[in-house]
Structure 1
């Protein structure tokens, strides 16, 4: 931070800072039947967790007492009296469904951001899978200040691939032969889309032009070249023209050629995924990788396959966030608060764990290793998609009927 800004903030203790946060929700159980949900806000600039909210729709003590009431072992008056005294210790703090937990967590965190942290979350980077952003807008947490929606690049990239594979199956555009929309070509077009966004951060027109360039490039032939929007860095045709050379035949370079008929079928998808409103939200080029990483750290400490109570979830979330923000050394603060003395073995183990973590994060893989991993991943996805198409529907609700 600029020294002058830091000094002015230190002098003005009431200053409220506007920041952008990456928000995501996660659940303790798969399938949207979980009793526990967690919402987390991570600062986009620093990558640190700013705030979190744990929601619980279940209290074991209440469930047991309800069973006793239904069995007729206690009266309604006794139950009401117990309920009144139990309010302070009740683990249940949410009465809605599991799907509504994410938006409720967002409302609570945006509503207390100023009073608790002296911060305004004016930019919200989220995946768009829930109505959390709409709920925050309706809440109007900051009078006179709007909250802006940012889109996750990874989720937009995933939705593009889903749309391409769906239209390939629904319109029977796949199969063998030149110009077909195979699983491999869907993957290539999907990666073209992601690359166009990342290569033109802050430039909506540049994004849109390169997104369409990916489709037109694949539709080009020797007779009808469509490379006006292509970038010489990845287009053989434009690179040859810039060097004053005669371009090679498309058959030597265009491994993902699409027929004109197939390409025209994809135009509505490209119109939708290259709209100004969508690209405006992706100018930042950011992702929710930090949130996804934190989610894995949380549930590694509290497996989704085991039934737990709210206290266990809270402990897992607190420990995960401490480790995420500060590394293994966060345990030293915990030990100090518990008046536990840190031995030399403890200190050395923690330092080694932190050094290993940083080393892995900063490791630079060779281009060959990266390329090999990417190629193997793509091959697995293509093979799995081909198997599903060849086998047909093998599993689904009510298939025996």
Structure 2
């Protein structure tokens, strides 16, 4: 009979629960839950199973073991797609995962009637609330060996905070997994919460593990600091509602309800006083919490404004829109100075700990300090500016370890000070005397923002010199530096100490960033094309440039493709040798410039699996197709061909290829630059103190994560449960492994638009 009639007859012959229970002994849980998958299509089988029972009951037979009659299921919910719904349940924290095996042949066992199964069931059915007894539940084996892979099991267990049967493998024993359902364990001194499960990353043994994100690799190297979490939170309400609450207060002495309340506003805080006129008694006085000359509520608001990249104007507008009293500019500056000092001190502490971690990680690679206690390390260095062009007043140079990707040191360069300019104008207008100006200048030197005089482009080299000169204070020697093609930084380091370098007897070695190095080819070819042109006079009398090399099909598209092939060959030949890397690069050049009369495929890989169509045809003993069918193809005059070939030879010398063999990039520096300027808006004018906060806060977050770098503890505000949950969620998002972006594919163009098309 047809599959649907067979399925209908099977459902009429026996109850669905017995049919599912009998099938579960003979087949895996997915087939048992779905019914006879060989006899009917999966949609009909799923429809029949949904009318009789929930799908999880068919796999586990758990309905007879627990009372779930209060959970309703409607037809509209069944039609919805599977979505993860939040369950208002106690905090779940994975404490230990270890063991050899997770699989058992018996899935429909009474062991499934555990609180976490109820949690997963209610999540699947859309339940909003769930009560679980405050006890520690040990989950036995839950799934069969043929369910999923080890990496999927690990990621889902860490992401969802519970052990699910569908993510098990025979390589992990879930009998050692303990899930704590104690709601009170998330408050005192712990870092777990309902929304963000505490991910154990102590198992990261090597910084070269590619199955985890680079953020987890960095954060796992530093010590995890836990703070006592408070359940206190801020209340934002109108004064009329607050008056309504206070109207029910009576005097404890005379029990009179004729209480007089006074409100004293100071910054964003309000002091509430209650006075009884009947018995002349001060009922109570509610004062705001103050720590180190800083009101807590105001300090939190100013810190939040600084974290969003705003300034005083943005803060004043925000408080006005929230119907809150604002601050004066002087008070706002005082708060920002205190917060900046705390951020700089926290960043210095984290970087000092990072240097200790670097020494330990290099020891694992059998690289130890010399007899004087100084360790030679490899670093990446790059500079960033507040403004594009050559008129930026702010520049930052950052040094990052090439092995651990931890930030070691940074330097901020500034060539403008507002106060210096202001007093110079007052001196010119004769509002102050020269003696007063000199006295002010002497007192202002220690806090002046201006620490550099020169062009904006030379900030990067000057910052590198200062960083290298103080590196020995940390017992580190930056012997190998990865930087871009700009030689001003490396040249400035080499010329220190009369050409002896920053370390006198030890030479600093330069390596190339392969991302920047491939751009050299593009720039050189583009400049070559622009240098060969003829001026053609038009009928209007104007002259137009005609580039000779573009006639030979060396267009911008071809140049971009050649630069892409150049970079790809650099990546494909990492950790090989100079000859193989050079031959791979030159093979792409000769391949694209070949013709039917002059094929140049001697450097292309041979054999039937070669990417070269010519070598593939030779291996198959067939006639190669015409070179005119190639997508990337150009033909040049012999003189122009020699110039292009000379560019390739200059970029593939032994010295340059040696610098690219390790395949290192400045991607960590570029990532940090984006994080720095997110705290310091490039569209607005900023001074050195704002750049200090931006750089220190971004570096602390980059090395240690959001939870460790938050300043609520150093500032004395205290860590609240609301803040803890948000910081853990931000850390989880930062540490997530980003999938590689897919390339954008262009649609095939109509051939009628091609040259010679019809």
Q: TM-score range by the shorter chain?
A: 0.7 to 0.9
Determine helix, strand or coil for the equivalent of 2:381.
Answer: strand
Distance 1:12 1:376, change over 3 A: same
Q: CA deviation at 1:14?
A: 6.0
The answer on 1:38 being equivalent to 2:412 is no
- What is the aligned partner in structure 2 of residue 131 from structure 1? 488
Cα deviation per residue 1:341-390 (whole Å; 9 max; x = unaligned)? 2222222211211222222xx2334xxx623x2x459x9xxxxxxxxxxx
Q: CA deviation at 1:335?
A: 2.1
Q: CA deviation at 1:8?
A: 10
The answer on 1:227 being equivalent to 2:601 is yes
Judge which range, 8-17 or 83-92, deviates more: 8-17
1:248 paired residue among 624, 629, 639: 624
Cα deviation per residue 1:225-244 (whole Å; 9 max; x = unaligned)? 211111254212223444x4
- What is the aligned partner in structure 2 of residue 218 from structure 1? 592
The answer on 1:349 being equivalent to 2:742 is no
Cα deviation per residue 1:53-101 (whole Å; 9 max; x = unaligned)? 0112122221111111111122212211121122222222222222221
Q: CA deviation at 1:255?
A: 1.9
The answer on 1:102 being equivalent to 2:460 is yes
TM-score, length of structure 2 as denominator length:
0.45
- What is the aligned partner in structure 2 of residue 318 from structure 1? 696
Determine helix, strand or coil for the equivalent of 2:419.
Answer: helix
- What is the aligned partner in structure 1 of residue 502 from structure 2? 141
The answer on 1:47 being equivalent to 2:425 is no
Distance 1:266 1:3, change over 3 A: closer
The answer on 1:82 being equivalent to 2:454 is no
Determine helix, strand or coil for the equivalent of 2:553.
Answer: coil
Judge which range, 160-169 or 318-327, deviates more: 160-169
2:717 paired residue among 340, 347, 353: 340
Q: CA deviation at 1:321?
A: 1.0
User: For residues 85 and 133 of structure 1, what CA distance do their matches in structure 2 show?
Assistant: 36
Q: CA deviation at 1:130?
A: 5.0
Q: Is the 8 A contact 1:49 1:321 kept in 2?
A: yes
User: For residues 18 and 7 of structure 1, what CA distance do their matches in structure 2 show?
Assistant: 12
Q: CA deviation at 1:105?
A: 0.5
- What is the aligned partner in structure 2 of residue 277 from structure 1? 655
Q: CA deviation at 1:126?
A: 0.9
Q: CA deviation at 1:315?
A: 0.5
Determine helix, strand or coil for the equivalent of 1:214.
Answer: helix
The answer on 1:199 being equivalent to 2:560 is no
Q: Which has the larger radius of gyration?
A: 2
User: For residues 366 and 521 of structure 2, what CA distance do their matches in structure 1 show?
Assistant: 46
Distance 1:7 1:253, change over 3 A: closer
User: For residues 413 and 556 of structure 2, what CA distance do their matches in structure 1 show?
Assistant: 40
Q: CA deviation at 1:32?
A: 1.8
Q: Is the 8 A contact 1:174 1:183 kept in 2?
A: no
| Paired residue total | 366
The answer on 1:238 being equivalent to 2:612 is no
Q: CA deviation at 1:18?
A: 0.8
- What is the aligned partner in structure 2 of residue 370 from structure 1? 742
TM-score, length of structure 1 as denominator length:
0.83
Distance 1:161 1:6, change over 3 A: closer
1:164 paired residue among 503, 515, 525: 525
Q: Is the 8 A contact 1:41 1:49 kept in 2?
A: yes
- What is the aligned partner in structure 2 of residue 389 from structure 1? none
User: For residues 370 and 279 of structure 1, what CA distance do their matches in structure 2 show?
Assistant: 29
- What is the aligned partner in structure 2 of residue 394 from structure 1? none
- What is the aligned partner in structure 2 of residue 386 from structure 1? none
User: For residues 276 and 9 of structure 1, what CA distance do their matches in structure 2 show?
Assistant: 27
Q: Is the 8 A contact 1:123 1:150 kept in 2?
A: yes
The answer on 1:180 being equivalent to 2:553 is yes
User: For residues 246 and 8 of structure 1, what CA distance do their matches in structure 2 show?
Assistant: 54
Higher helix share: 1
Determine helix, strand or coil for the equivalent of 2:408.
Answer: strand
User: For residues 252 and 319 of structure 1, what CA distance do their matches in structure 2 show?
Assistant: 56
Q: CA deviation at 1:158?
A: 1.2
Distance 1:231 1:149, change over 3 A: same
**Unpaired segments of 5 or more residues in structure 2?**
1-205, 207-359, 533-546, 750-758
Q: CA deviation at 1:263?
A: 3.6
